[in-house]
């Protein structure tokens, strides 16, 4: 495998020509807060769905203090149908802490970032690297796959381990700004070239030093598309949609019409109330938190 500095020499010219500059949070001038918002939104949602929501969100709440002071009901409406709306609540909690305890400045230290609600190792490293240019391994599924294949493995398993993080860090040059660009380049390589099932080895800038190049990808277990319709997630989504589209609190009759099966509907309602995503008023109607 190439030494980190040599890897950078190969990888960065390719990255300069192929990185996805159309992603709005990669535009010059994007703040650390904008990067953090993009990473939280992208945790369980495809980038293509995130981009328009992120742009509208940042136009409305460009700084942590703006989001911190927003009505929670409006935050949940703005989240739309990106799924897993508890992320919106955690993002608003992050905004309050950043505004109140950090003077509105998103921390640069990953350890400090990890103390924020809903911010794990990956997201903390991503903000530290992609905005502040720090030298930290940023390891998502794509990076794990690229690093494993460079070492001759077909894949890196099902979950990020300390070994995965250490292997990625070993590929980073000592110079922090260069290392930050290499981190992003490894991610782009995995997303655009080193595909899980159909890697385009001929288009890879490090094909000749890759321990996996040219080998056949193992078939692996079949990946059936996860069913959504008729699941608990589906019911929860329909309830949230009804509340987003309503002008005010939603009465029991309207809520009963959201889903015909009472047991599933009541289970979903109970979960959403328990998660703090909806609440009831004095009349027993359902609404978003104020």
What residues pair up with 250 in beta bridges, in sequence order?
286
Helices (H), 47-169: 47-60, 64-68, 72-79, 86-101, 110-113, 121-130, 141-150, 162-169
Q: 33, 63 in Cβ contact below 8 A?
A: yes
203 vs 18: CA distance, rounded Å: 11
Q: 34, 226 in Cβ contact below 8 A?
A: no
163 vs 142: CA distance, rounded Å: 15
Considering 5, 39, 100, 279, which one is annotated as catalytic?
39
What burial class does residue 226 get, using C-beta atoms within 10 Å of its C-beta: 0-12 exposed, 13-18 middle, 19+ buried? exposed
Helices (H), the chain: 4-18, 32-41, 47-60, 64-68, 72-79, 86-101, 110-113, 121-130, 141-150, 162-169, 176-192, 232-245, 252-256, 262-274
Q: 1, 211 in Cβ contact below 8 A?
A: yes
How much of the chain is helix, strand and coil, in % rounded to 5?
55, 0, 45
* Other beta carbons less than 10 A from residue 172's beta carbon: 23
What residues pair up with 287 in beta bridges, in sequence order?
279
The yes-or-no answer on residue 74 being catalytic is no
- Active site amino acids: 39
């Amino acid at each position: 495998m190439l030494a980190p500095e040599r890897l950078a020499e190969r990888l960065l010219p390719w990255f300069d020509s192929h990185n996805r500059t159309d992603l709005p949070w990669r535009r010059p001038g994007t703040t650390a807060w904008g990067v953090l918002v993009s990473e939280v939104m992208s945790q369980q949602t495809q980038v293509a769905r995130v981009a328009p929501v992120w742009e509208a969100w940042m136009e409305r709440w460009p700084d942590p203090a703006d989001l911190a002071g927003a009505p929670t009901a409006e935050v949940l409406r703005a989240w739309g149908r990106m799924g897993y709306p508890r992320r919106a609540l955690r993002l608003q909690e992050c905004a309050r802490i950043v505004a109140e305890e950090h003077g509105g400045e998103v921390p640069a230290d990953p350890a400090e970032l990890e103390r924020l609600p809903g911010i794990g190792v990956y997201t903390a490293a991503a903000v530290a690297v992609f905005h502040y240019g720090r030298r930290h391994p940023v390891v998502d599924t794509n990076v794990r796959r690229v690093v494993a294949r460079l070492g001759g493995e077909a894949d890196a398993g099902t979950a990020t381990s300390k070994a995965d993080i250490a292997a990625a860090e070993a590929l980073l040059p000592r110079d922090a700004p260069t290392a930050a660009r290499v981190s992003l380049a490894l991610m782009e390589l995995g997303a655009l070239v080193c595909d899980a099932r159909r890697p385009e080895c001929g288009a890879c800038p490090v094909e000749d030093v890759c321990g996996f190049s040219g080998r056949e990808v193992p078939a692996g277990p079949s990946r059936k598309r996860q069913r959504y319709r008729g699941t608990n997630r589906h019911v929860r989504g329909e309830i949230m949609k009804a509340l987003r589209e309503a002008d005010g609190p939603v009465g029991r009759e309207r809520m009963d019409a959201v889903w015909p099966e009472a047991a599933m509907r009541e289970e979903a309602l109970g979960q959403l109330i328990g998660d703090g995503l909806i609440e009831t008023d004095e009349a027993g109607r359902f609404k978003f938190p104020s």
